[in-house]
Structure 1
């Protein structure tokens, strides 16, 4: 399994018991849908390795307490500490309407209701307080705040997003 075919589920943050149980901090708004998985992929030295789950349950809302089949000692658990955890993309719940996953809209065309075609979405910058669309426009990078009020429609069929940004925002990048 390649990382491109997966989505980030969370990170192993600490051990739970002396029998190899681990706590995974889930990066999701719906932790309960990941409570009864059969397996997950763990990034071990830049390689995704499948680990089969013996048992799992939610622990304090956003932590998943997991016992993997072949992780039975503290030493086994130590070797996985701070590792990232992934699942195949097909396990992502389908989103509808104007809700979308960040990876899903890369390559979409962005149009502004007033400005017209803005460009192609090349990435999402979520390292700031406000997530930003990174849009390429003839060699220029335009950053559009990912604000629900700006997003009018997400058209998956035609791979486009229609936004209505404040007057002058796009021009700031093109002058």
Structure 2
């Protein structure tokens, strides 16, 4: 399984018991969706390794307690600490309306209600306090905040996102290039 065919689910943060159980911090608003998985991929030295799950349950609401097959003691568990967890993309719950996954909208066109077509989404910058659409407009990068108030409509069929940005935001990028 290749990483590009998977999504990041979370990270193993600590051991739970001397029997090899682990606690994983999930990167989701709905951890209950992942409580009864059969298998998971763990990133070990850059390779995604499949592990069968014997049992799993939510622990203190935001952690997932995992008992993996063939991980039966503390030293087995130690080898997996701080490892990233992945699942195949097809296990992502479908989103609808104006909710979307970041990877899903790469390549979508951005249109602004006042400005018209802005460009194509080439990436998402989520390293700042406010996530940003990275939009390419004929070689000029335009950054548009991914603010719910700005996003008017996500049209998956047409692969477009309609936004309503503050006056002058898009022009700032174009006039300075």
TM-score by length of 1: 0.99
Give, in angstroms, the shift of residue 140 of structure 1.
Answer: 1.0
Over the aligned positions, Cα root-mean-square deviation in angstroms equals 0.6
Aligned to 2:70: 70
| Structure 1 position 148 matched with structure 2 position 170 | no
Counterparts of 2:117 and 2:132, CA distance in 1 = 17
Q: Which runs of 5+ in 2 are unaligned?
A: none
Aligned to 1:28: 28
Give, in angstroms, the shift of residue 151 of structure 1.
Answer: 0.6
The count of aligned residue pairs is 175
The 3-state SS of whatever aligns with 2:171 is helix
Give, in angstroms, the shift of residue 170 of structure 1.
Answer: 0.4
The 3-state SS of whatever aligns with 1:96 is coil
Aligned to 1:133: 133
What are the superposed Cα offsets for residues 68-105 of structure 1, whole Å, 9 maximum, x if unpaired? 00111111111111010000111111011111001100
Alignment of 1:38-117 (within 5 A): 38-117=38-117
Counterparts of 2:73 and 2:107, CA distance in 1 = 45
The 3-state SS of whatever aligns with 1:143 is strand
The 3-state SS of whatever aligns with 2:166 is coil
TM-score by length of 2: 0.97
Give, in angstroms, the shift of residue 137 of structure 1.
Answer: 0.8
Counterparts of 1:62 and 1:172, CA distance in 2 = 41
Counterparts of 2:168 and 2:5, CA distance in 1 = 38
